[in-house]
Amino acid sequence: MSDSKEKPEAARMMEAAFGGVLEALGKMGYPVTSDDNFAETAARAARAMVELVRPPSEIAAEIDQMLARTFPARYDEMVISKHNICFGVCPHHLLPVIYRASVAYLPGQRVLGISKLSRMVQLLARRPVLQEDLTHELAELLFERLETRGSAAYLEGLHLCMAARGIEAHEARVVTSAVRGVFRDQPATRQEFLDLVTAPQLNLL
Ligand SMILES: [Zn+2]
């Protein structure tokens, strides 16, 4: 039942599958058996995929832990975690998606540590999930589970399945947003959030 048993099995299955991809590349004419660069590729590709896709049970457990350690809210202004760069894969092609994700909420009784907010976004992205669903799940989680007055999520996703194919490569950035509670009911609050996350920013590094 433990994840330590599930994970190696998933990794083994992925390694076997990537072995098949390599074989197919060999059929296409690539030197997969003679070029040393391909020697450990199936295992390496499997490890990379395992890092991009976390088991749902681990994600749920870590989020439960975070929500169990919240702090009393001392103010009622918008809490925002902006421009988190995170990674996942699309469920349609299993190719990487790079997100720039911003989330916000208006506190109820409790607040989440700001680093936890960022961590939560990173965690939920590491799944084979549709960007639209991810966006709604983030807003839902911050509204329902954190018991806030409202929440918002704004995601830009660079989808390699789109970016790497066809001539419309520059159109590959997908933008999605979701709002709950006050952010949905008060256009001014929603606009304040959108202005904050879409404003040009200083490059400090
Ligand atoms: Zn895709």
Instruction: For 129-142, give the DSSP string.
Output: --HHHHHHHHHHII
The CATH topology of domain 64-198 is: GTP Cyclohydrolase I, domain 2 (3.30.1130)
pLDDT (mean) for 171-192? 93
Q: What is the pLDDT of residue 167?
A: 53
If you measure from the C-alpha of residue 107 to the centroid of ligand 1, how many angstroms do you get, rounded to a whole number? 35
Distance in Å, CA 157 to ligand 1 centroid: 11
Using the mean position of ligand 1's atoms as its centre, give its distance from the Cα of residue 21 in Å: 18
pTM of the model: 0.89
Task: Tell me how long the chain is.
Answer: 205
Q: How far is the CA of 127 from the centre of ligand 1 (A)?
A: 13
Q: Which residues pair with 181 in a beta bridge?
A: 150
* Residue ranges of domains in the chain: 3-52, 64-198
C-alpha of residue 99 to centroid of ligand 1, in Å: 13
Taking the centre of ligand 1 as the mean of its atom positions, its distance from the CA of residue 155, in whole angstroms, is 16
**Integer Cα distance of 117 and 114 in angstroms:** 5
Mean residue pLDDT across the chain: 91
> Taking ligand 1, which is a single-atom ion, which protein residues have CB atoms under 5 Å away?
90, 92-93, 161
- Containing 49, the helix (H) or strand (E) segment is helix 41-52
Q: What is the three-state SS of 61-107? A: HHHHHHHHCCEECCCCCCEEEEEEEEEEECCCCCCEEEEEEEEEEEC
* Cα 196 to ligand 1 centroid, rounded to whole Å: 29
**Ligand 1: distance of its center to the CA of 14 in Å?**
19
For 60-119, how does the pLDDT look when each residue is reduced to its tens digit (9 = 90+)?
Answer: 999 999 999 999 999 889 999 999 999 999 999 999 999 999 999 999 999 998 899 999
Long-range Cβ pairs for the range 16-25 (8 Å, 24+): 16/42, 17/46, 18/42, 18/43, 18/45, 18/46, 18/49, 21/45
pLDDT at 170 over 60: no
- Rounded mean pLDDT of 147-164? 92
50 within 8 A of 10, measured Cβ to Cβ? yes
